[in-house]
Structure 1
Amino acid sequence: MSAAPSHVHGHAQSSPFSRRPILTGIAVGIASLLPHAFLTTEASLAFAAILIALIAGIYFGFAVVNGSSRHQWIEFNVAGLFAVSGLLGLLYWPVLLAVAYFAHAAWDFAHHNRSRLSLVAIPQWYVPWCVVIDVIVGAGLLVIWHDRGLL
């Protein structure tokens, strides 16, 4: 028996992200965190706020492509909650930004078992990939901002 052709699983099989989600998630997480070491505190907060909103918005994109109107409504509103969290963290309580990254990792896990929660379908590799990024960025922000006396 031969292996299934790559087109059976979609074009993502050729992606290094889909082949090695943990390894590429670590690389993207570090690359996403690295600018914070060089940015001013204010710019670091703004970058973290923008990035969490962007990350959360990706699920809305999955819902537009793969989901029902219900899925689109859920993902749009959850992305909005993360955007508001980013704004509140930027303006008032920086630790909320780091917490938002950990909360997004939980949202990723919720999509892993979408049969129980009836959430939009996403590529299977995306869940561990995004969880790794979220945890690296959230933990890294806590360390960086603590060292700067922000937290």
Structure 2
Amino acid sequence: MSSSVAVQLDHSGHAHQHGNASVFARRPILTGVAVGIGSLAPHFFLPVQASLGFAAVLIALIAGIYFGFAVMNGSARDQFVEFNVTGLFAVTALLGLLLWPILLALAYFGHALWDLAHHNKSRLSLVKIPTWYVPWCVVIDVIIGVGLIAIWTAHGIL
């Protein structure tokens, strides 16, 4: 048996397969909400230092994904840009962990802006990413950022 897979080009010329696309690609908002809530849930149960550490590690991991995109399909310039921006998020995470926890929550909002900068319609010269990834990641970032502020305020961390 063969299955047919439609290939479409988006407005920027990127090929997208439909039919075998992941659930994340087919339902970026819904899966983004699920991943965002799932990523936020441990903070309700973790001790303060563990919650801060988890938030710091997660934002550094999230930021590093763009470097992965650059390694897979970007130029040396794209790799340089994404590596350095990932480093800035890692330093911000460390400062949030060690000095000012609010930086951790703000880093998630900053990453949502970085996601939007990669949107194919933004006309910025940044690494190309799948079109579904931007709304997916923005939703996750905003849920975690808002959630951390609420949880940490309730626990007296902020």
In the superposition, the TM-score normalised over structure 1's length comes to 0.93
Give, in whole Å, the separation in 1 of the partners of 2:137 and 2:148.
16
CA RMSD of aligned residues (A): 1.6
Gaps of 5+ in 2: 9-15
- Say whether the 8 Å CA contact 2:71–2:79 is kept in structure 1: yes
Deviation at 1:117, TM superposition (A): 1.4
4+ residue runs over 6 A deviation: none
Structure-to-structure mapping, 1:71-110, within 5 angstroms: 71-110=78-117
Give, in whole Å, the separation in 2 of the partners of 1:125 and 1:115.
15
- Quickly say closer, same or farther: Cα 1:12–1:146, change in 2 above 3 A: farther
Give, in whole Å, the separation in 1 of the partners of 2:18 and 2:60.
27
Which of 120, 128, 136 does residue 129 from structure 1 map onto?
136
**In the alignment, is residue 61 of structure 1 matched against residue 68 of structure 2?**
yes
Deviation at 1:13, TM superposition (A): 4.4
Matched pairs, number? 148
Give, in whole Å, the separation in 1 of the partners of 2:19 and 2:105.
30
Give, in whole Å, the separation in 2 of the partners of 1:73 and 1:32.
28
Gaps of 5+ in 1: none
Aligned AA (1:116): R
- SS in structure 1 at match of 2:123: helix
Deviation at 1:10, TM superposition (A): 3.6
Structure number with greater CO (CA < 8 Å, separation at least 6) is 1
Structure-to-structure mapping, 1:1-151, within 5 angstroms: 5-6=5-6, 9-10=16-17, 13-113=20-120, 116-151=123-158
- Say whether the 8 Å CA contact 1:60–1:76 is kept in structure 2: yes
Instruction: Report which of the two has the higher share of strand.
Output: 2
Give, in whole Å, the separation in 2 of the partners of 1:12 and 1:122.
19
- Say whether the 8 Å CA contact 2:36–2:139 is kept in structure 1: yes
- Say whether the 8 Å CA contact 1:108–1:127 is kept in structure 2: yes
- Quickly say closer, same or farther: Cα 1:117–1:12, change in 2 above 3 A: farther
Aligned residues with identical type, % of pairs: 70
Aligned AA (1:5): V
Q: Deviations over 1:109-139 (max 9, x none)?
A: 0000466210000000000000000000000
Instruction: Report which of the two has the higher share of helix.
Output: 1
